[in-house]
Amino acid sequence: MSYVDELFGLKGKVALVTGGGRGIGQVIAAGLAKAGAEVAIVSRTGADETVKKIQAEGGSAYSLIADVTSEKAVDAALAGVLSRSHSLDIVFNNAGICIHKDTLEAGIDEWREVLDINLTGEYIVARAAGRVMIERKIKGSIINMASMSGSVVNVPQWQASYNASKAGIIHMTRSLAVEWAPHGIRVNSLSPGYIATPMSVDTPQELRDAWMPLIPFHRMGKPEELIGAVLYLAADSSGYTSGSDIIVDGAYVCA
């Protein structure tokens, strides 16, 4: 085994990825599999395409269907993981949505939808995973998907619900990190900037044109540029890292 494999290899680990049917979740699921993990991919509609991609590259993966806003569905999905894989070492808590609307135009139902999926959904998944890890004495790693929007207010689009949900995820992550530290469970968050995924690429061209001058790198990031940060947080090499928020944004929040 090489030194890099010792630091970042995930052979023998079981990873759960939510929202892994496309975009960042799909890329991270493939990255975890390439590092040696068996990957269970949870989404509302299934992730057969992601599973086929991973298996074609020699990795191990399977798909489960669950709505992350339902405790019952999440518990059933985790039971499926434990029945098939007999462990749960890593969680990439990724499912989320964004609604771009002025606050005075957005309905309260839209606010609740974003908070319910992004914040409450991640809480439900993290809570269920934490329970499994504590009961089984697994010193696991939970990686919550936040965003640079949890640290800055994006312009020119207005998205108060999304920003609030991501700021909540960052502080929820810190809270769980402290609470579960005695159990050896690490909880961290990942905060991407503008990444070239369907969520960003499908936005109006005028918004994307406005973003570019604000990004010091003057380009959107690639989903693959998040894999290294996730592997670090997932692997044993980050054994003393918990409660951290890793920002991968082309220096956007610094400008």
Residues noted as catalytic: 147, 162, 166
Describe the strand order of the beta sheet including 14-18 as a list of residue ranges.
60-65, 38-43, 14-18, 90-93, 141-145, 186-192, 245-248
Write the DSSP assignment of 91-128 as a string of letters: EEE---------TTTS-HHHHHHHHIIIIIHHHHHHHH
Helices (H), 147-220: 160-180, 198-201, 205-211
Which residues are CB-contacts of 125 (< 8 A; sequence separation ≥ 6)?
16, 18, 68, 74, 91, 93, 95
> What is residue 224's DSSP assignment?
G
- Phi, psi dihedrals of residue 191, rounded to the nearest 5°: -120, 90
Burial 214-237 (b: 16+ CB within 10 A, else e): bbeeeebbebebbbebbbbbbbee
- Report yes or no: 115 and 123 within 8 Å, Cβ to Cβ: no
